[in-house]
Structure 1
Amino acid sequence: MKKIWYNYEDIHRAIKQLAEKIQASEHSFDAMIAIGGGGFIPARILRSFLNIPVYTVTLSYYDVNDQPTDLPQKIQWTDGFDKKLKEKKLLIIDEVDDSRATLEFCVRELQHEGFNQLGVAVLHEKRKTKKGVLPADMPFYSAIQVDDWWINYPWDALDIDEHYQNVVSQSLPEN
């Protein structure tokens, strides 16, 4: 599988564009729910532009070998903010819409618990057939569409210098 590397600066710029898309839409949101671990950093940057609070849930769809599991697993859920946010408009944030299985699971579980005003925003949306499905009327925003490549984020790097060398040495097609 082809790999792609992003630096923090490009991610920050993309999230600014994502914020502008959200602000220009007909939808407004009261808070964000970041899906951990990939949604944490995009949500924190997006918070600077949208000026709404960030809450977190943690789901795991991949095993220790980066292979998808049958279903996402809840690691941390809505305890602590469930009553406070039930009637609020919530924007679910993740770093990548790959198979859409995690997003579908998160939306379905939140709706099952009475969170009914939801939207989704992702940093990267992969151009591919999705396993998961979101409600057709649900607001959905993505900053960047990419082919089905393995995305290397700087926050996942064990050696940030090597990561940035890969960023500089790659040649990217236009989006």
Structure 2
Amino acid sequence: MSERVAIWTDGACSGNPGPGGWGAILVYGANSKELSGGDAATTNNRMELMAAIQALEALTRPCDVDLYTDSAYLKGGITSWLAGWKRNGWKTADRKPVKNVELWQRLEEAASPHHIQWHWVKGHANDEMNERADLLARQGMRPFLIGRAARAAGTFK
């Protein structure tokens, strides 16, 4: 794999659970691509996972990837906990079902063609690309906030 791609991801949620969004920025050389989306009823952790999944699924061939996230849940899950969960039949160390198992499985599949270095960055600490990913996540959430407000006001069914 000779192509190196840098990816920044973030998730956002208004309430937890509640409307949420995800954002990702992919940078390859001088080229970049921004992705975002959301869900009407979700959690912040699900949106963090979706950001990474969508970014990796957007790659069209195997790449060397540096993926930057401010989610300890995402980084810890993919780098430390996933192998144990699989060995335990998708159960945690205390034998409880893994939350978001379908997204973890999808992330594992999306990651498999690539050589990925996972990096944790401190959120809201003036990292320009992390801040941009956060903005994209909030933009992805916005249509679902508008729908929620309209339903609460009785103007949208």
TM-score, scaled relative to structure 1: 0.30
Q: Which has the higher helix share?
A: 2
TM-score, scaled relative to structure 2: 0.32
